[in-house]
C-alpha cells in the first residue's frame, strides 16, 4: 500500500490537462481548419521525442467526435521511423484551442494552442506547464521573421526559448 501511495503522484502528474498560469489558449478556434498535417519547427526537448528529426503531427477526426493524433519522426541514429497514435478531446468549448491528448490511456496531457495564424499556417502550442512547447507549421520550414516573433511571444509567456531545439525538417518537395 505504501508503494502505491508513493507512485500516485507520478500517475497524477501524467494527467495534467490544464494550461500554464498566465497562458490563454486561442478563441475562435475552428477544428476543421486545424486538421491535417503539421511540421515541427522547434520544441522543448523531452524523452519521448529525443533524437527525432523530420517530426510531424497529423490530426484527423475520430468516429467518436474526438481527434486522431498521429505523431511521426525519424531516428537517424537507428535509421528508423517512430510513430505514436493518440486521441484528443476538447477541455471545454470547441471554439477554444484547449484540448487534452492521450497516447497512453487513461492518462491525458494538456494541448493548448497559444497562437494561431489567421490562415492556420503556423501555431504555437504548449502543454499543461512551461516545460512543453512546440512551434508548428504547415510547411517544413517557417519564415525566420515569423519564427522569431513566435519565440518572442513564448519568451514573454515565460517559456525557456533558449532551450528550444530545431529538428532537421522533412525534405521539401
Whether residue 29 has pLDDT greater than 60:
yes
Identify the three-state secondary structure at position 54: strand
Question: What grid cell was written down for 151?
Answer: 519565440
Question: What grid cell was written down for 70?
Answer: 498521429
Mean pLDDT (the chain) is: 90
Question: Is this model's pTM higher than 0.85 or not?
Answer: yes
Whether residue 13 has pLDDT greater than 90:
no
- The three-state DSSP-derived secondary structure of 7-32 is HHHHHHHCCCCCCCCCCCCCECCCHH
Fold type of domain 27-165: Lipocalin (2.40.128)
Which CA distances in Å does 57 have to 23, 34, 37, 94, 120?
23, 11, 6, 20, 14
Cβ neighbourhood burial of 98 (10 Å; 0-12, 13-18, 19+): buried
CB 55 within 8 A of CB 38: no
**pLDDT per residue as tens digits for the range 76-135:** 999 999 999 999 999 999 999 999 999 987 889 999 999 999 999 999 999 999 999 999
Whether residue 12 has pLDDT greater than 50:
no
Domain boundaries along the sequence of the chain: 27-165
Amino acid at each position: 500500500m505504501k508503494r502505491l501511495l508513493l507512485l500516485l503522484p507520478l500517475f497524477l502528474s501524467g494527467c495534467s490537462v490544464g494550461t500554464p498560469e498566465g497562458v490563454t489558449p486561442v478563441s475562435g478556434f475552428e477544428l476543421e481548419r486545424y486538421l491535417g498535417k503539421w511540421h515541427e519547427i522547434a520544441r522543448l526537448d523531452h524523452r519521448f521525442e529525443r533524437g527525432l528529426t523530420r517530426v510531424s503531427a497529423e490530426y484527423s477526426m475520430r468516429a467518436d467526435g474526438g481527434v486522431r493524433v498521429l505523431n511521426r519522426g525519424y531516428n537517424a541514429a537507428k535509421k528508423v521511423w517512430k510513430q505514436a497514435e493518440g486521441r484528443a478531446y476538447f477541455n471545454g468549448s470547441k471554439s477554444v484551442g484547449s484540448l487534452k491528448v492521450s497516447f497512453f490511456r487513461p492518462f491525458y496531457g494538456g494541448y493548448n494552442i497559444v497562437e494561431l495564424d489567421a490562415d492556420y499556417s503556423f501555431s504555437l502550442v504548449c502543454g499543461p506547464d512551461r516545460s512543453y512547447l512546440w512551434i508548428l507549421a504547415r510547411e517544413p520550414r517557417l519564415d525566420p521573421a515569423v519564427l522569431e516573433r513566435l519565440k518572442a511571444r513564448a519568451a514573454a509567456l515565460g517559456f525557456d526559448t533558449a532551450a528550444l531545439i530545431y529538428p532537421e525538417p522533412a525534405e521539401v518537395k
